[in-house]
Amino acid sequence: MLKNIPKILSPQLLKVLCEMGHGDEIVLADGNFPSESVGKNAVVVRADGLPLPELLDAVLTLLPLDSYVEKPAALMAVTPGDPCKPDIWDEYREILKKHGENPQNIEMTERFAFYERARNAYAVVATGEERIYANILLKKGVVK
């Protein structure tokens, strides 16, 4: 056991966060995201049953976001015509703000473009989050 490490972070996820370098990306995926097929060239970490906001909060305690890009976080945009209004995004903005990030620096990415970007991510974390459009992609920065 270690001190000051959020208990929600598994040893495998801690290892992945340590392995990632500046500019590498990680997807925190909801339960509907095709994690295994999209992540077939990435490290897929199973975090079944975990709510995504709690996991995002824990990850951001350790992972600096890239300050060299305008928008180091990306969300999957709602598909045109879908009436869904993801309330989880407001939670994400509050979590980003809590960790010193500008909550407006989030890129809205079309669904299939998000999948394509996720295919190039270092890792995909498959959570048990049940809310739709809850996927978030983070670009790792540097520790200063």
- List of domains in the chain: 22-139 (3.40.1650.10)
Q: Give pLDDT tens digits for 49-64.
A: 999 999 999 999 999 9
Q: Is 122 known to be catalytic?
A: no
User: Rounded to two decimals, what is the model's pTM?
Assistant: 0.96
Catalytic site residue from 24, 30, 57, 66: 66
Residue 66 backbone class (left: φ over 0; alpha: ψ -120 to 50; beta: rest): beta
What confidence score (pLDDT) does residue 120 get?
Answer: 97
Average pLDDT over all residues of the chain: 97
Does the active-site annotation cover 99? no
Q: Residue 144 pLDDT > 90, yes or no?
A: no
Task: Give the percent of the chain with pLDDT over 90.
Answer: 98
